[in-house]
């Protein structure tokens, strides 16, 4: 027997080592979801030791490299800083114009969401992190970042760049975290095609390519269509850019479906700095408690025509860029009430008796001044999504969607339906004269 062991010592040791590793492997494969749970306690210890041993050198090397590069760039950048400044000023001017348009669109979207009681998830808080390493293997697409649990990073937090999503946090250590990229074969994300509005699941493959699955072959998808997150996976907030469709072909392995290849928006092979979404703000577009307590009479007094005070009249006339509609003006608020009547008591208001002076509020004006304070038009840009829209000089009555005369859309869909027909019939018997800002019927209020 002793002779047997001494003779076959090497193969026996080999088998013993392989057996131990196979058992360890089987334990992990049996419970694949245990990557962050107690199921992988032993293997997690190995990962912790390994990361603790090597990551300090990575951090030091990245930090020193960044220091040298930053100082070098600071010197180089001074050469063309004036020209760059001028170019950036022009860009800011253009972006401001674009921002005004986007704010109006966002305000409209918010109003519509409020009508639906829609719950929206925004990027609430971002933690910048530096990429300090990769998995080192072609078969595994992971990166390491220099922020860990001490910085508030947790498992499954989404990781993004300004260009698009990058992946999610897989393992967290005190000072380092491992991020599973979206092009890894174990990765997945709920996405939506921006134009065709088709939803699917984005998956990576061993070659590091991105594919959207679960889309039937009879759907029409154009190459170049943008892909954004759908929010359905409860990891990535909705609306974050993912990439662009680069190829559409029938999926031979999965016959009734399409193989939609996606080029990632973020350059996953050259990541240097990323943003960890440490907090996802959730906003349900409902009326606030303060708004809910507003009396119907107050709302009516806001909306329906009333006699302006003399000083108010004086203040309004010099500022108004165009005259408001005179006599037929009551039709305008009434029509508005049919769109978003806040309370069942709306029809009881003495709308017909009101003078037309409030046409400045509800009637037509050529240049509506829209004052908007909004931070969450872009989910990447904001956290609170607080928004206030006021229309001090009114808006074209015919275009209720673009600029709503009602600054606080408080109505739930149900009362609107109930009040729609009677309000329009009783209060607004005559056609609206203020449909167009350029209407010749518009005259200054008397």
Partner 1 sequence: MNYAAVSLTSREEIEVHRFSWPVSLGIPLLAIFIQVFFPLRLPFLSIFDLPLLVTIFFAVARRRPIPGMITGALIGTVQDAWTSLPIGVNGIAKTIIGFLASSLGVKLDVDNPGSRFLMTFTFYLVHRVIYVVIVLALVGGNEPFSWGHTLVAALANALLSVVLFAGLDKFKQRM
Q: How far is the CB of 289 from partner 1 (least distance, A)?
A: 46
Q: Answer yes or no whether residue 133 interacts with partner 1 by CB under 8 A.
A: yes
**The binder of partner 1 chosen from 46, 76, 116, 297 (CB under 8 A):** 46
> Chain-centre distance of CA 330, in angstroms?
39
Q: Considering the rule CB under 8 A, would residue 92 count as an interface residue with partner 1?
A: no
41 binds partner 1 (CB under 8 A): no
If one asks whether residue 128 binds partner 1 (CB under 8 A), the answer comes out as no
**Closest CB to partner 1 among 26 and 76?**
26
235 is a contact residue toward partner 1 (CB under 8 A): no
* C-alpha closest to that of 185 among 135, 231, 248, 145: 135
Which residue number, 1 or 29, has a Cβ lying nearer to partner 1? 29
Cα–Cα dist 179/169, whole Å: 4
**Reduced 3-state DSSP string for the chain:** CHHHHHHCHHHHHHHHHHHHHHHHHHHHHHCHHHHHCHHHHHHHHHHHHHHHHHHHHHHHHHHHHHHHHHHHHHHHHHHHHHHHHHHHHHHHHHHHHHHHHHHHHHHHHHHHHHHHCCEEEEEEEEEEEEEEEECCCCCCCEEEECCCHHHCCCCCCEEECCCCEEEEEEEECCCCEEEEECCCCCCEEEEEECCCCCEEEEEECCCCCEEEECCECCCCCCCCCEEEECCCCCCCCCCCEEEEEEEEEECCCCCCEEEEEEEECCCCCCCCEEEEEEEEEEEECCCCHHHHCCCHHHHHHHHCCCCCCHHHHHHHHHHCCCCCCCCCCCHHHHHHHHHHCCCCCHHHCCCCCCCHHHHHHHCCCCCCCCEEEECCCCCCCCCCCCEEEECCCCCCCCCCCCCCCCCCCCCCHHHHHHHHHHHHHHHCCCCCHHHCCCCCCCCCCC
Q: By CB under 8 A, is residue 139 in contact with partner 1? A: yes
Q: Which residue in 7, 13, 64, 314 binds partner 1 (CB under 8 A)?
A: 13
The binding track of 191-210 with respect to partner 1, each residue x by CB under 8 A or -, is --------------xxx---
Q: Is 6 in the site for partner 1 (CB under 8 A)?
A: no
State which of residues 186, 219, 233, 251 lies at the interface with partner 1 (CB under 8 A). Answer: 186
Binding residue for partner 1, selected from 4, 5, 29, 218, defined by CB under 8 A: 29
121 makes contact with partner 1 (CB under 8 A)? no
Number of residues that bind partner 1 (CB under 8 A): 51
Contacting range for partner 1; rule: CB under 8 A; set: 45-53, 93-101, 116-124, 366-374: 45-53
Residue 143 interacts with partner 1 (CB under 8 A): yes or no: yes
- 242 counts as binding partner 1 under rule CB under 8 A: no
Site for partner 1 in 270-299 (CB under 8 A): 270-271
155 scored as a contact of partner 1 (CB under 8 A): no
Minimum separation from the CB atom of position 258 to partner 1 (A) = 19
**Chain centre distance of CA 175:** 29
38 binds partner 1 (CB under 8 A): no
Instruction: Calculate the alpha carbon distances from 268 to 24, 59, 153, 156, 242 in Å.
Output: 31, 20, 20, 18, 11
Mask of contacts with partner 1, 251-270, x by CB under 8 A?
A: ------------------xx
Q: Is 17 in the site for partner 1 (CB under 8 A)?
A: yes
Which of 25, 81, 88, 421 is in the footprint of partner 1 by CB under 8 A? Answer: 25
Nearest 10 degrees: CA dihedral of 417, 418, 422, 428?
Answer: -40
Interface pick for partner 1 out of 108, 134, 301, 378 (rule CB under 8 A): 134
Partners of 390 in the β-ladder: 371
Q: Is 9 an interacting residue with respect to partner 1 (CB under 8 A)?
A: yes
Among 86-94, 104-112, 113-121, 180-188, which window interacts with partner 1 (CB under 8 A)?
180-188
User: Which CB sits closer to partner 1, 207 or 390?
Assistant: 207
How far apart are CB 130 and partner 1 at their closest, in Å? 10
Selected from 21, 84, 282, 430, the binder of partner 1 by CB under 8 A is 21
CA distance 31 to 29: 5
Is 17 or 381 the residue whose CB approaches partner 1 more closely?
A: 17
* Nearer residue to partner 1 within complex by CB, 57 or 314: 57
Give the binding site for partner 1 (CB under 8 A): 9-10, 13-14, 17-18, 21-22, 24-26, 28-29, 32, 43, 46-47, 49-51, 53-54, 57-58, 61, 131-144, 170, 178, 180, 184-186, 205-207, 269-271
């Amino acid at each position: 027997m002793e002779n047997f062991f001494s003779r076959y010592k090497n193969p026996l040791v080999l088998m013993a080592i392989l057996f131990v590793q196979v058992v360890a492997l089987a334990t992990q494969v049996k419970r694949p979801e245990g990557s962050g749970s107690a199921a992988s306690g032993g293997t997690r210890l190995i990962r912790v030791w390994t990361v603790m041993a090597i990551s300090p050198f990575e951090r030091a090397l990245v930090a020193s490299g960044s220091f040298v590069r930053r100082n070098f760039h600071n010197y180089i950048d001074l050469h063309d800083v004036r020209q760059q400044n001028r170019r950036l000023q022009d860009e800011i001017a253009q972006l401001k114009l674009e921002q005004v348009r986007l704010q109006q669109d966002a305000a409209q979207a918010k109003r519509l969401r409020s009508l639906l009681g829609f719950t929206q998830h925004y990027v609430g808080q971002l933690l910048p992190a530096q990429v300090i390493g990769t998995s080192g293997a072609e078969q595994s697409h992971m990166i390491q970042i220099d922020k860990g649990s001490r910085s508030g990073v947790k498992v499954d937090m989404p990781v993004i760049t300004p260009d698009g999503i990058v992946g999610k946090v897989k393992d967290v250590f005190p000072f380092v975290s491992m991020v599973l990229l979206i092009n890894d074969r174990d990765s997945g994300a709920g996405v939506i095609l921006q134009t065709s509005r088709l939803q699917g699941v984005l998956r990576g493959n061993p070659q590091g390519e991105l594919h959207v699955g679960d889309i039937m072959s009879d759907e029409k998808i154009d190459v170049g269509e943008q892909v954004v997150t759908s929010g359905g996976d409860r990891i990535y907030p909705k609306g974050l850019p993912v990439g662009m469709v680069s190829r559409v072909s029938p999926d031979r392995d999965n016959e009734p479906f399409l193989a939609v290849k996606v080029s990632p928006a973020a350059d996953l092979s050259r990541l240097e700095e990323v943003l960890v979404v440490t907090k996802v703000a959730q906003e349900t577009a409902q009326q606030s408690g303060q708004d809910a307590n507003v009396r119907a009479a107050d709302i009516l007094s806001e909306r329906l025509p009333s006699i302006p005070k003399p000083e108010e009249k004086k203040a309004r006339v010099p500022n108004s860029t165009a005259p408001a509609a005179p006599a037929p003006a009551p039709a305008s608020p009434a029509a508005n009430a049919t769109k978003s009547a806040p309370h069942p008591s709306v029809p009881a208001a003495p709308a017909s008796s009101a003078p037309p002076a409030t046409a400045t509020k509800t009637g037509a004006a050529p240049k509506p001044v829209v004052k908007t304070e909004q931070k969450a038009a872009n989910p990447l840009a904001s956290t609170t999504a607080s928004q206030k829209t006021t229309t001090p000089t009114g808006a074209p009555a015919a275009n209720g969607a673009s600029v709503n005369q009602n600054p606080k859309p408080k109505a739930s869909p149900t009362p609107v339906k109930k009040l729609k027909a009677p309000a329009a019939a009783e209060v607004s018997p005559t056609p609206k004269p203020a449909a167009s800002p350029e209407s010749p019927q518009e005259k200054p209020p008397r």
